[in-house]
Amino acid sequence: MPRTLIEPQSPIERLSILDSEGNLDTALEPKLSADDLKRLYRAMVLGRRLDERMLRLQRQGRIGTFAPIKGQEASQIGSVFTLKPTDWVVPSFRETASMLWRGWPIETLLSLYAGRLEGSSPGPEQRDLPVTIPVATQLPHAVGIAYGIQYRGEDAVVMTYFGDGATSEGDFHEACNFAGVWHVPVVFLCQNNQWAISVPIKKQTNSRTIAQKAIAYGFPGIQVDGNDVLAVYAASREAVERARAGEGPTLIECVTYRLGVHTTADDPTKYRTDEEVKAWEQKDPLTRFRAYLEKKNLLEPALEEQIDEEIVRGVERFEAMPQADPLGMFEHAYAELPPHLVAERAEMAARLAAPEGNGAPTEAEPTSPPMRGQRRTSRWQN
Which residues belong to the active site?
258, 262, 271
Kindly compute the dihedral angle of the four CA atoms of residues 23, 26, 27, 31, in this order, to the nearest 10 degrees: 130
Closest listed residue to residue 19, CA positions, set 193, 225, 223, 222: 225
Instruction: Please give the Cα distance from 80 to 247 (Å, whole number).
Output: 20
Q: Phi and psi at residue 40, in whole multiples of 5°?
A: -60, -45
DSSP count for the chain of H helices, then E strands:
13, 8
What residues contact 261, with CB distance under 8 A and at least 6 apart? 68, 267, 268
Using DSSP's 3-state secondary structure scheme, residue 108 falls into: helix
Instruction: Please give the Cα distance from 377 to 382 (Å, whole number).
Output: 8
Instruction: Please give the Cα distance from 229 to 98 (Å, whole number).
Output: 13
DSSP state of 24: B
CA distances from 141 to 144, 174, 319, 344 (A): 5, 11, 32, 31
What residues contact 177, with CB distance under 8 A and at least 6 apart? 217
What residues contact 119, with CB distance under 8 A and at least 6 apart? 108, 109, 110, 111, 112, 113, 130, 131
Whether 164 contacts 210, CB under 8 Å? yes
The secondary structure element, H or E, covering residue 13 is strand 13-15
